[in-house]
Amino acid sequence: MKAEHVKDDLSSILFTKEQIAEKVSELAQRIDHDYQGRDVLLVGVLKGAVPIMADLMRQLDGQYPMDWMAVSSYGSGTKSSGVVRILKDLDTDLHGKDVLIVEDVIDSGLTLSWLRTNLESRGTSSVEICALLRKPEAMKTSIDVRYVGWDIPNEFVVGYGLDFAEQYRNLDCIATLAPHVYE
């Protein structure tokens, strides 16, 4: 979906589809360099990470199997509750694997911190994080993120997998959602 189809719902466009494609390519190059010759499992966090996971995988040169988890700390709201629920667990045994969590956005960091600890407890060799977006002002816990596309202001963003009430995920850019939509 193009931004002009929902222009009254958006405050501003942060990143175009071309900028996103360039950033994902940069992240893939760094990941390929850092993980050359290693047994890496990409773990996507549903549902928001679907676009970045798909685009990232197409840019990677090596073999990178993937698996998916669904965790929730939002419900239908716009702010993290901090209470994490596993909605769909991994199908892959993580013992001895290097795991790279692929995420769309890091807000408070609470869910991702919990997820990293959970995956580390499964006998992994390492657990690192790749996030397209991070909101430093919203962070409630310190979490080391190895790969970050962009740091953005603490605003509600949609598009490229990011949603509000399951809407706007298919927007081809990343934009700030106008407050009148969610207030």
pLDDT per residue over 139-178, tens digit each? Answer: 999 999 999 999 999 999 999 999 999 999 999 999 999 9
Maximum C-alpha span of the chain:
49
Whether this prediction's pTM lies above 0.85 is answered by yes
Examine the residue annotation and report whether 107 is marked as an active-site residue of this protein.
yes
- Predicted confidence at residue 83, as pLDDT, reads 76
Given the residues 9, 104, 107, 163, the one annotated as active site:
107
- Predicted confidence at residue 84, as pLDDT, reads 85
For the chain, domain boundaries: 18-154
- Predicted confidence at residue 126, as pLDDT, reads 98
pLDDT band at 77 (very low <50, low <70, confident <90, very high): low
Reported as a single tens digit per residue, the pLDDT across 26-59 is 999 999 999 999 989 999 999 999 999 999 999 9
Q: Is the pLDDT of residue 82 over 90?
A: no
18-154: CATH topology:
Rossmann fold (3.40.50)
